[in-house]
Amino acid sequence: MRRLHALSADSMEGRLAGSAGGARARAWLVRELNAIGVKPLGARFEMPFTLRQRTPSPDSIGTNIVARIPGKNRGGPVIVLSAHYDHVGVRNGQIYNGADDDASGCVVLLAIAEQLLQTPPQHDVILAFFDAEEGGLQGARAFVANPPLPLGQIGVNVNLDMVARQDGGALWVAGTSHSPFLKAYAEQAASSASVRIRFGHDTKDLKPGDDWTNSSDHGAFHAKAVPFLYLGVEDHPDYHKPGDDADKIDPVFFRGTMEYAAALVRALDGALGTFPARAP
CATH architecture under which domain 2-270 falls: 3-Layer(aba) Sandwich (3.40)
Of 134, 100, 142, 126, which is closest to residue 16 (Cα–Cα)?
Answer: 134
Q: What is the pLDDT of residues 242-255, one digit of tens each?
A: 999 999 999 999 99
Residue 60: the pLDDT is 86
Q: Are 127 and 36 in contact (CB under 8 A)?
A: no
Produce one character per residue of 93-108: b if its CB has 16 or more CB atoms within 10 Å, e if not: eebbbbbbbbbbbbbb
Give the whole-angstrom CA distance, residue 215 versus residue 121: 29
Average pLDDT, rounded, for the chain: 95
Residue 54: the pLDDT is 54
Q: What is the pLDDT of residues 147-205, one digit of tens each?
A: 999 999 999 999 999 999 999 999 999 999 999 999 999 999 999 999 999 999 999 89
User: The pTM is what?
Assistant: 0.96
Q: What is the pLDDT of residues 253-275, one digit of tens each?
A: 999 999 999 999 999 999 999 99
Q: What are phi and psi of 155, to 5 degrees?
A: -75, -35
103 contacts: CB under 8 Å, gap ≥ 6: 4, 7, 8, 15, 85, 87, 97, 246
Q: What is the pLDDT of residues 31-55, one digit of tens each?
A: 999 999 999 999 999 999 999 865 5
Domain borders along the chain are 2-270
Look at 278 and 190; give whichever has higher pLDDT.
190
